[in-house]
Structure 1
Amino acid sequence: MASVLSYESLVHAVAGAVGSVTAMTVFFPLDTARLRLQVDEKRKSKTTHMVLLEIIKEEGLLAPYRGWFPVISSLCCSNFVYFYTFNSLKAVWVKGQRATTGKDLVIGFVAGVVNVLLTTPLWVVNTRLKLQGAKFRNEDIVPTNYKGIIDAFHQIIRDEGVLALWNGTFPSLLLVFNPAIQFMFYEGLKRQLLKKRMQLSSLDVFIIGAVAKAVATTATYPMQTIQSILRFGRHRLNPENRTLGSLRNVLYLLHQRVKRFGIMGLYKGLEAKLLQTVLTAALMFLVYEKLTAATFTIMGLKRAAHKH
């Protein structure tokens, strides 16, 4: 129990949250482009920079940063929960033994499930806010009018029922493999490099963070597209296709997408997603490693994470 409530887990959680917020802010416009490419199927521009130029031209210079605050607050909570759970479980389970790739994958998976169930409502709201006021090419999309995070929660519960806040939960649970794969690769690569040298340079951390995220994103991207469509929830779908995103819905949406755009339709926006997530993850891990190391040094604690 002590290790679950430990100061060390808290440091990891805060450092993870700060790292992700810093990284996401830097690369936020890429995420805006990715979301438009996923949700607005009628958009002709295929490349990230063209979509961003279009958004700026039609909606103003600050449009790529629309919805920044709800995304950042969701991300902060989400990464705090993830890093806290991951490091607490690791402290309890690994306790004095050697960390292995298999254990990292299982711990990453459990941490991800906890994270999804707690933070999906925040992500549903921020997907809606991020797309509010966007000029869509697809006329099947119903526009929204939310005044902010609280108002969005209120309107969604009032108009669509409380369960709408967990739209896209099923693909999100499947997507738990994304951070689990990412952390497994990240921890594994880190262990391999630490065998060869005493400590990792900033560039090492940046590169292994980028590689881990690229593998995880490419493997799980089709599910992310479906998750965005379900979270947005403003397409005029049959009412039975609007509920939580059960397996039937996920398969239906995957099938529709392939039927209309071919197999590559599942990877629409992947270029923007890879650019954004790979750079964001690499920068996040860099800030996270530096911040935890600095905090433990200041507090005079030995860094348990380097005893892998």
Structure 2
Amino acid sequence: FLDAFHQIIRDEGVLALWNGTFPSLLLVFNPAIQFMFYEGSKRKLLKKQLQLTSLDAFVIGAIAKAVATTLTYPLQTVQSILRFGRHRLNPENRTLGSLRNVLYLLQQRVRRFGIMGLYKGLEAKLLQTVLTAALMFLVYEKLTAATFTVMGLKHSRKH
């Protein structure tokens, strides 16, 4: 472990220890988009019907995750490139985790593979995450309803 640590510092500099940190921080947008889309869709649906069914929660959760993942996937691609070292540094800025290099790597990816290069592997990522998110929202809704019932509180449709 320490040998690798010293080798990275020697070969790439101290800042290389944080490769991929900036895109990781940007990926906070993924769950934010997911929850925003889920809650917005749920509110719209509850204006038309009295309660959310299990199927509703499952489908809305799946769609919310698909939307969030599709929107943030280019950043996940850059994060992967930075993490596994498959990149050429921007000669103007050797700090890998910077916004400038995130944009540089996105630009290089588009030049090399076209706009679809930003989404290479998206299908596998969607298969990996959408079902999990759909089940998570279904369980969340069921646990919330059960908690309100056990506590003897009226379950608000707008929670």
**Whole-angstrom CA distance in 1 between matches of 2:59 and 2:3:** 43
Residues 259 and 292 of structure 1: is their aligned pair in 2 closer, same or farther, counting only changes over 3 Å?
same
Residues 249 and 221 of structure 1: is their aligned pair in 2 closer, same or farther, counting only changes over 3 Å?
same
Amino acid at match of 1:234: G
Residues 301 and 264 of structure 1: is their aligned pair in 2 closer, same or farther, counting only changes over 3 Å?
same
Does residue 269 (structure 1) correspond to residue 117 (structure 2)? The answer is no
Does the CA contact (< 8 Å) of 1:164 and 1:244 recur in 2? yes
Cα shift at 1:203: 0.5
Number of corresponding residues: 154
1:186-265 pair list within 5 angstroms: 186-230=38-82, 232-235=83-86, 237-238=88-89, 243-265=95-117
Does the CA contact (< 8 Å) of 2:149 and 2:155 recur in 1? no
1:1-308 pair list within 5 angstroms: 157-160=5-8, 164=16, 166-230=18-82, 232-235=83-86, 237-238=88-89, 243-298=95-150, 300=151, 302=153, 306-308=157-159
**Whole-angstrom CA distance in 2 between matches of 1:259 and 1:217:** 22
**Whole-angstrom CA distance in 1 between matches of 2:103 and 2:67:** 23
Which 5+ residue runs of structure 1 have no aligned equivalent?
Answer: 1-150
State which structure, 1 or 2, has the greater radius of gyration over its C-alpha atoms: 2
Aligned to 2:137, the other structure's residue is in SS state helix
Aligned to 2:79, the other structure's residue is in SS state helix
With normalisation by structure 1, the TM-score equals: 0.43
Does the CA contact (< 8 Å) of 1:157 and 1:164 recur in 2? no
**Whole-angstrom CA distance in 1 between matches of 2:127 and 2:26:** 22
1:119-174 Cα shifts (integer Å, max 9, x gaps): xxxxxxxxxxxxxxxxxxxxxxxxxxxxxxxx6xx666554367556432322333
Percent identical residues: 75
**Whole-angstrom CA distance in 2 between matches of 1:278 and 1:183:** 13
Residues 201 and 264 of structure 1: is their aligned pair in 2 closer, same or farther, counting only changes over 3 Å?
same
Q: What is the RMSD of the two structures over their aligned residues, measured on CA atoms?
A: 3.0
Residues 184 and 255 of structure 1: is their aligned pair in 2 closer, same or farther, counting only changes over 3 Å?
same
Cα shift at 1:182: 1.5
Amino acid at match of 2:8: E
**Whole-angstrom CA distance in 2 between matches of 1:250 and 1:197:** 44
Amino acid at match of 1:302: L
1:204-256 Cα shifts (integer Å, max 9, x gaps): 001111121222222222121101222x2433644977745211211221122
